[in-house]
């Protein structure tokens, strides 16, 4: 049995709710006393206390248990409307009720504490596994570009004037690509920290999405070698009021993921549409797509597709999902019927015609 509480009330509210529920239960039972025996009322009150024990902390439940015992004694145990108990059997019954109500509250509290410790231990072990996965992947993902940069610099230093301009240009290009990869990994780690800390606050402003996407394609130019990135630009697209930085990170990570995990020669298409009060992005490719059994896991932190486990940290798409949710949007992954995959991102956004910004007063 799982006693995890999906609701969390302030302690003062818990006391108020517990007392109110006991009073309501007692009133309903009082008006039904002609149809039910006072011993049955004890079971009804115990049921109410048991439900509270599942939902609330120990002390409000103890108060409810004591109050229910006193109410049962005063209003239901003959003679009624006083605390005198007429027969030894009813005295024993009252004491049993009182003890059972208290034990019920304390026992349920102990179970909840035990489950909480178990969950903490499971989360701790899961976190250790996840961060070991992160460190293992980073040791590979960071080592490769660092080695490239060091090797290129050593070659330039040792070669000196012997290197042709063409060779130097190639080495400088390798340094640039490796630096870009390093920067992306660092950005993903920082973004992961910001998401987990819950400190992300969108900075909403008007944005020309066509211009934004052209910039993203340019940023990924080196990684796009061997692929064809096509942007289906809509000249009539309005300006959107969004967080440019977060949207840029979302699209950057999806595009980079497609470039890294699709075969050479793959075509990647980017589309943007305006629909009611939403900005819709679609990034699709004609690669191999995602295994159907793993589609629902691709947004999990540190998750990497099993067939591609040698590459990536598994952070990019989890950050994409986190940023999308921060913006109040949704993201969906679909495998295309003709092959490849499509990411559909829907972000709520006000719009204004691209030539109407100067007339916007709010």
Q: How confident is the model at residue 362 (pLDDT cuts 50, 70, 90)?
A: very low
Quick: pLDDT tens for 94-151. Answer: 888 888 888 888 888 788 888 888 888 877 776 676 566 556 655 656 777 788 888 8
- Residue 312's pLDDT is 54
- Residue 273's pLDDT is 93
- Considering the chain, what percentage of its residues have pLDDT values greater than 90? 20
Could you tell me the two tokens for 243?
């967080």
Q: What distance in Å separates the CA atoms of residue 101 and residue 107, rounded to the nearest whole number?
A: 10
- Residue 302's pLDDT is 63
What's the predicted TM-score (pTM) here? 0.56
- Residue 119's pLDDT is 83
pLDDT at residue 357 greater than cutoff 70: no
pLDDT at residue 89 greater than cutoff 90: no
- Residue 310's pLDDT is 45
Quick: pLDDT tens for 299-330. Answer: 876 666 655 444 555 667 888 888 888 899 99
CB atoms closer than 10 angstroms to residue 56: 27
- Residue 158's pLDDT is 81
Quick: pLDDT tens for 7-53. Answer: 567 888 888 988 999 899 989 988 888 788 888 888 888 888 888 88
Mean pLDDT score, 158-164: 78
Could you tell me the two tokens for 300?
């999990």
- Residue 251's pLDDT is 93
- Considering the chain, what percentage of its residues have pLDDT values greater than 70? 84
- Burial pattern 157-184, b for ≥16 Cβ within 10 A else e, equals eeeeeeeeeeeeeebeebbebbebbbeb
Look over the chain and give the mean of its residue pLDDT values, rounded to a whole number.
Answer: 82
Kindly state the DSSP code that residue 84 receives in the 8-state scheme.
-
Which of 4-8, 132-136, 183-187 shows the lowest per-residue confidence on average (mean pLDDT)? 4-8
Question: Sign of torsion, CA 179 180 185 188?
Answer: positive
Quick: pLDDT tens for 254-296. Answer: 998 888 888 888 999 999 999 888 999 999 999 888 888 777 7
Q: What is the CA radius of gyration of the chain?
A: 32
Those residues whose C-beta lies under 8 Å from the C-beta of residue 52, and which sit 6 or more positions away, are: 17, 18, 21, 60, 61, 64, 105
Alpha helices in the chain (DSSP H): 11-30, 38-55, 58-75, 88-159, 165-197, 209-219, 244-261, 316-326
Beta bridge partners of 331: 345
CB atoms closer than 10 angstroms to residue 312: 22
Of the two residues 82 and 2, the one the predictor is more confident about is: 82
Taken in order of first residue, the domains within the chain and their CATH numbers are 1-163 (no CATH), 205-359 (3.30.565.10)
């Amino acid at each position: 049995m799982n006693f995890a509480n999906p609701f969390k009330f302030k302690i003062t509210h818990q006391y108020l709710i517990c007392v109110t529920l006991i009073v309501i239960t007692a009133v309903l039972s009082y008006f039904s006393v002609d149809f039910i025996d006072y011993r049955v009322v004890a079971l009804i009150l115990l049921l109410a206390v048991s439900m509270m024990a599942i939902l609330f902390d120990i002390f409000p439940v103890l108060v409810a248990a004591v109050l229910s015992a006193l109410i049962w004694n005063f209003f239901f145990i003959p003679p009624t409307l006083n605390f005198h108990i007429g027969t030894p059997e009813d005295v024993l019954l009252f004491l049993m009720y009182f003890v059972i109500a208290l034990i019920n509250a304390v026992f349920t509290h102990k179970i909840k504490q035990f489950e909480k410790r178990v969950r903490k231990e499971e989360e701790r072990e899961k976190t250790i596994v996840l961060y070991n996965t992160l460190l293992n992947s980073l040791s590979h993902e960071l080592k490769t570009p660092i080695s490239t940069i060091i090797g290129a610099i050593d070659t330039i230093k040792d070669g000196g004037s012997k290197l042709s301009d063409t060779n130097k240009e190639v080495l400088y290009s390798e340094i640039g690509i490796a630096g870009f990869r390093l920067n992306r990994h660092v950005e993903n780690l920082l973004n992961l920290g910001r998401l987990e800390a819950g400190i992300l606050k969108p900075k909403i402003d008007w944005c020309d999405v066509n211009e934004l996407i052209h910039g993203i394609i340019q940023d990924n130019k080196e990684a796009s070698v061997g692929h064809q990135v096509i942007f289906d630009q809509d000249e009539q697209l309005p300006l959107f009021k969004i967080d440019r930085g977060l949207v840029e990170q979302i699209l950057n990570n999806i595009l980079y993921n497609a470039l890294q995990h699709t075969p050479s020669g793959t075509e990647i298409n980017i589309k943007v549409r305006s629909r009611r009060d939403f900005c819709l992005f679609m990034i699709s490719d004609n690669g191999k797509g995602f295994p159907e059994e793993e589609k629902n896991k691709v947004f999990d932190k540190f998750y990497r597709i099993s067939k591609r486990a040698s590459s990536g940290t598994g952070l990019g798409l989890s950050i994409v999902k986190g940023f999308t949710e921060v913006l109040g949007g949704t993201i969906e992954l679909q495998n295309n019927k003709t092959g490849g995959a499509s990411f559909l991102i829907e972000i709520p956004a006000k719009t204004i015609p691209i030539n109407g910004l100067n007339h916007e007063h709010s």
